[in-house]
Amino acid sequence: MPRIISEPQPLETGALRIIPLGGIGEIGRNMTVYEFDGRLLIVDCGVLFPEETQPGVDLILPDFTPIRDRLDDIVGIVLTHGHEDHIGAVPYLLKLREDITLYGSRLTLALMEAKLKEHKITPKLKVVSDDQRLNVGPFDLEFVAVNHSIPDALAVAIRTPAGLVLATGDFKMDQLPLDNRLTDLRAFARLGEEGVDVFMTDSTNADVPGFTPLERHIGPVIEQVMHRAKGKVVVASFASHVHRVQQIIDAAVANGRHIVFVGRSMVRNMGIASELGYLTIPAGTVVDLKDAVEMPDDRVVFMSTGSQGEPMAVLSRMANQEHQIEVGKGDTVILASSLIPGNENAVYRVINGLIALGANVVHKGNAKVHVSGHAAAGELLYCYNIVKPKNVFPIHGEVRHLHANVALAIETGVPVQNTLIPENGTVVDLKDGRMNIAGQHDIGFVYVDGSSVGEITDADLKDRRILAEEGFISIFVAIDPRTGAVVVGPEIHARGFAEDESVFDDVKPQIVKALAEAATSGTNDAGQFQQVVRRVVGRWVNTQHRRRPMIVPIVIEA
């Protein structure tokens, strides 16, 4: 069903406007804008990682178009936690207006500050903690502790005269968390008693029955895998998964191994986590890479990035034998992460490469070496029964996750008409306890390609896919424009299509004939002659070879 674009209606006095600019229908680039009394509050500003159908793209940003002309109205950016899909796009927004204050927990802002330093941005930071309440412009904010796969995650309750919104951020309800920091269900219940007008809750595991397994169950499995390993051990995880890294460190120490952090983001983030006390590392456990390569294989664990099969990350380079850490027979590789949708092919390609080198690869599919950081259906049901929201606005998930989340809300008694399955850009207004759709912004993907931001279009990506999958054919012809007679050529060159260019001998006479016929019909423009050549070659290559390469004709008048 095509998206119906409609200009948003003017915001009524006393109403709260909610606009998701990312994170809806996708896992990544989470960003929601709240508007009240002419002021804007942003919650999260993350990136989406590209799929194989987006060659050459480094990152995908939220589309800032709806707020680009209102940057001065932004009173702050609240960051719920330090994962890239929630903070990665902040540098690109701050380049539009650098003095916007960032609100977040101590670890979140420390990770954010380090990232912004790489972009040569000095941010305005305001550290907040759970149970804290403060006013930011016309928004009364209260921060609530939630448990996730990174320490210091927060939900945020947003109060305005229009009503109370509770946005969970990413969360789960691990009852034995490694840092003993529970999701504050008492605060959820208290807010429910006050009256939550809109519950915006994490949908990622809404279609997974039951409860997400405990993080504590992972540590012993990793320790056993490491105990059985005869050679070197390589563990790949997200560079921000502090809890998982702590378990790897504990397992390494238990097995008499040293830890080496590999990959720029891993080294940076674990340094920050250790310095702030979120990571406990016994003295002498961590060694530099240059020293580790000289150690016996059974005395070292390499903690690296690349769990999602990213082509330039450490693990992919190991699989391609392009890294100084060599993986081979007797070595063990542990992928301590979930698969982000869209990354399956890239991850399995890396796994296959490592196995071909002789490594034993342990991953979530064959051992319990990772659990999700998101609440499953049982946890969401529990929350709906505690909060008893008037309206439900699911966030953070693909379409199937959003629908599953809404179905859970309805099961607990939320009226169907009080639920919403939005799209990115959907404009939702809250007034008198009711949500109403007020419009739909036409927003899309903003691609980061090297130093280019937003200059690459979907058409460019289509061209790249064609070049990669179908090849490239160029045709050079010089003609007499009066007669269409070929003076030079046709010269045909191909890349990624056919090794022997004699294959084009059959089509060259067709090009000569078509040009002469076009001139006889009155064609006298080089651009029109080029279209003639493109049609002839395109028809021939499709009929004879069942291919659709990129065809670039060049016709000059002699």
* pLDDT at position 265: 87
Whose tokens are 């999958």? That residue is 469
pLDDT confidence of residue 52: 58
Contact status, residue 299 vs residue 257, Cβ threshold 8 Å: yes
pLDDT of residue 332: 93
So what's the pLDDT on residue 1? 43
537 near 553, Cβ under 8 Å?
yes
Segment 431-481, tens digit of pLDDT:
988 999 999 998 888 877 655 565 566 665 565 555 555 677 788 888 777
Among 155, 158, 141, CA closest to 18: 158
CB atoms within 10 A of CB 214: 14
CATH topology of domain 216-362: Rossmann fold (3.40.50)
| Fold entry, domain 16-210+373-453 | Metallo-beta-lactamase; Chain A (3.60.15)
* Residues β-bridged to residue 144: 155
pLDDT less than 70: residues of the chain: 1-4, 50-58, 309, 311, 341-342, 449-470, 484, 496-501, 524, 558
Tallying the residues shown for the chain, one arrives at: 558
pLDDT the model gives residue 249: 95
Q: How far apart are CA 359 and CA 271, in angstroms?
A: 29
pLDDT digits (tens, 9 = 90+) for 210-243: 999 999 999 999 999 999 999 999 998 888 889 9
- Would you state the pLDDT for residue 454? 54
What is the pLDDT, as a whole number, of residue 96? 94
Among 214, 141, 155, residue whose Cα is nearest residue 184: 155
Domain ranges for the chain: 16-210+373-453, 216-362, 470-557
Question: What is the per-residue pLDDT for 401?
Answer: 96
Taking residue 533's Cβ as centre, other Cβ atoms within 10 Å add up to 27
- The pLDDT value recorded for residue 2 is 47
Q: Do domains 16-210+373-453 and 470-557 have the same CATH topology?
A: no
Give the separation between CA 331 and CA 361, rounded to whole angstroms: 9
Burial class of residue 402 (count of CB atoms within 10 Å of its CB; 0-12, 13-18, 19+): buried
Where does 161-270 show beta strands of DSSP type E?
A: 163-167, 198-200, 233-236, 258-262
- State the pLDDT at residue 499: 53
Note the pLDDT of residue 65: 93
Query: pTM of this prediction?
Result: 0.81
DSSP letters spanning 35-76: EETTEEEEE----B---TTSTT--EEE---HHHHTTGGGEEE
> Fold for domain 470-557?
Ubiquitin-like (UB roll) (3.10.20)
